[in-house]
Amino acid sequence: NAGVTQTPKFQVLKTGQSMTLQCAQDMNHNSMYWYRQDPGMGLRLIYYSASEGTTDKGEVPNGYNVSRLNKREFSLRLESAAPSQTSVYFCASSETAGRGNEQYFGPGTRLTVT
Amino acid sequence: DAKTTQPNSMESNEEEPVHLPCNHSTISGTDYIHWYRQLPSQGPEYVIHGLTSNVNNRMASLAIAEDRKSSTLILHRATLRDAAVYYCILRDWSGTYKYIFGTGTRLKVLA
């Protein structure tokens, strides 16, 4: 089992460029999440998908869009990147969105916007 | 939103027990207490979670105060590989689902 995989690992964008971060899980989990982590900070939820076919905003959704492509894959899109979106992005999954379920995190994508 | 308070940093000697405290005085009756840790340059890793009773697993123990306003993560024998940032998190479901991560406790393990 690979768990949660993310691509790319690193990316540098110029302001205004767009890109899609990819995430896949092979644990047959129903729920998936996107977080960002700024230097010295904890993680903040951007969007989540409680189950296939549904997506909802988290704490910091502005400037992002998501697609739950199928049960395995959940992508995060930056339509017009801004320097404030420089961060490390983590994808996570859990069996369900219930309060007792643990989340499994990917290795992260380090994004720099110049 | 119920929040947690943790010390910024702690140190421990290798092979000694470590007690990482967390205060959550505004916890609601149905909030689970989760602990994650994040090793350098990695994603967070689940450690343990509980609701009311103390919990044990292969990684750690979680001691929850009777009034649930605080909890303690116990690593029984710290190793160098346990050096990480430890997050105490409440599962909050107040309209928008989210974990509130906070800044955690940076644990340094001394050889």
Per-window interface: B 20-79 vs A, CB < 8 A: 30-32, 34, 36, 41-46, 49, 51
Q: Is the per-residue pLDDT at A46 higher than 70? A: yes
Q: Considering just the CA atoms, what is the radius of gyration of chain B in Å?
A: 13
- Structure-block tokens of residue A26: 């092979």
pLDDT per position as a tens digit, B27-81: 888 888 999 999 988 999 999 999 898 999 998 999 999 999 999 999 999 999 9
Can you give the pLDDT at residue B1? 57
Query: Nearest-CA residue of chain B relative to A33?
Result: B98
Can you give the pLDDT at residue B92? 67
pLDDT per position as a tens digit, B41-54: 899 999 999 989 89
Q: Is the dihedral of CA A111, A31, A105, B36 positive or negative?
A: positive
CA distance B21 to B97: 25
pLDDT per position as a tens digit, A51-65: 999 999 988 999 999
